[in-house]
């Protein structure tokens, strides 16, 4: 049966071309994903995060038609845009319509970092300095010390097309920095296949937006088996 173990709904930005393939790469047998797309208009600048929630209820209703067991608002900046508590507000708005388990990427990332007992973090993003500042403030409002937050050099490509070697080399350069975990931010950034190698190179946990969201959803739908090949979070760590 399709989705015999769980059907999971993901709300993603309309421009995102990475989340769908990455979640299916991580999916345990018997789990299916069903996607709603929220309008994400780059020309609006930061206001695009406000347009994303304008049709939120409509997309959530569609996911309930598919009989999903849990829903994640799968956008990092979109779930921290309004500052501390914004992620929880979004989740409550979704829960009003869906009445199923709900999380967001930012909530999942916060819990993933806590599971490693990591308070000092380094963050890499594909974002502008303006968005990086929003993210830094969000983590600091939850008690984390952001040792550094840097924008990746994508060599002129869209960040969704960054080559794995280029990503690896830039993150590996953090090796001598003072941090307890690294976070690769953005559900539209392809990361999951490089996380294990980065952890070996850095000697510290490395998490990413899609990986952390999958980790939290796995717990929400009562999947207990480890998921191999996408970093220690999915392999070893239980959701809190």
Burial class (CB in 10 A: 0-12, 13-18, 19+), 6: buried
Residues 85 and 35 in one domain: yes
Per-residue pLDDT, 1: 65
Helix axes 86-98, 56-65, angle to 10 degrees: 50
What kind and span of H or E run contains 12?
A: strand 6-13
Burial class (CB in 10 A: 0-12, 13-18, 19+), 54: exposed
- Cα–Cα dist 4/184, whole Å: 31
Residue 140 backbone class (left: φ over 0; alpha: ψ -120 to 50; beta: rest): alpha
- Cα–Cα dist 206/112, whole Å: 10
Per-residue pLDDT, 239: 52
Residues 33 and 114 in one domain: no
- Cα–Cα dist 145/137, whole Å: 10
Residues 135 and 180 in one domain: yes
Phi, psi (degrees; rounded to nearest 5) at 187: -75, -10
What does DSSP assign to residue 230?
Answer: S
pTM of the model: 0.95
Count of CA atoms in the C-beta half-sphere (13 A) of 115? 22
Per-residue pLDDT, 238: 62
How many folded domains does the chain comprise? Answer: 2
CATH code for the domain of 147:
3.40.50.1860
Let me know if residue 1 belongs to a domain: no
CATH code for the domain of 16:
3.40.50.12500
Tokens 């388990």 sit at which residue? 101
Per-residue pLDDT, 45: 76
With contact defined as beta carbons under 8 Å apart, do 83 and 109 qualify? no
- Cα–Cα dist 126/153, whole Å: 8
Tokens 């709603």 sit at which residue? 36
Query: Which range marks the domain in which residue 158 is found?
Result: 109-209
Per-residue burial over 171-197, b if 16 or more Cβ lie within 10 Å, else e, is beebeeeebbbbbbbbbbbbbbebbbe
Residues 72 and 10 in one domain: yes
Let me know if residue 147 belongs to a domain: yes
- Cα–Cα dist 2/58, whole Å: 24
Per-residue pLDDT, 176: 84
Residues 177 and 127 in one domain: yes
Let me know if residue 17 belongs to a domain: yes
Q: Supply 73's token pair.
A: 């608002």
Residues 97 and 19 in one domain: yes
- Cα–Cα dist 32/223, whole Å: 13
With contact defined as beta carbons under 8 Å apart, do 113 and 140 qualify? no
Per-run averaged pLDDT (10 residues), the chain, 240 residues: 86 96 96 95 80 92 96 97 96 95 98 97 96 97 97 88 93 92 98 97 97 97 94 79
Residues 126 and 188 in one domain: yes
């Amino acid at each position: 049966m399709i989705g015999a173990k769980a059907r999971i709904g993901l709300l993603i930005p309309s421009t995102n071309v990475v989340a769908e393939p990455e979640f299916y790469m991580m999916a345990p047998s018997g789990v299916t994903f069903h996607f709603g797309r929220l309008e994400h208009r780059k020309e609006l600048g930061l206001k695009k995060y406000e347009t994303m929630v304008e049709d939120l209820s409509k997309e959530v209703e569609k996911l309930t038609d598919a009989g999903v067991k849990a829903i994640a608002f799968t956008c990092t900046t979109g779930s921290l845009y309004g500052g501390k508590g914004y992620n929880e507000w979004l989740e409550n708005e979704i829960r009003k319509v869906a009445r199923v388990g709900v999380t967001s990427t930012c909530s999942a990332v916060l819990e993933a970092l806590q599971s490693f007992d990591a308070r000092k973090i380094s963050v890499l993003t594909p974002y502008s300095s303006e968005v990086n500042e929003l993210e830094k403030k969000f983590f600091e409002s939850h008690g984390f010390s952001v040792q550094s937050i840097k924008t990746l050099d994508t060599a002129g490509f869209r960040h969704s097309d960054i080559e794995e070697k280029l990503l690896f080399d830039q993150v590996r350069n953090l090796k001598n920095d003072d941090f307890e975990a690294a976070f690769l931010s953005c559900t539209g950034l392809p990361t999951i296949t490089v996380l294990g190698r980065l952890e070996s190179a850095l000697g510290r946990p490395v998490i990413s937006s899609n990986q952390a969201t999958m980790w939290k959803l796995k717990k929400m739908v009562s999947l207990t088996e480890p998921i191999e090949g996408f970093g220690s979070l999915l392999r070893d760590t239980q959701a809190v």
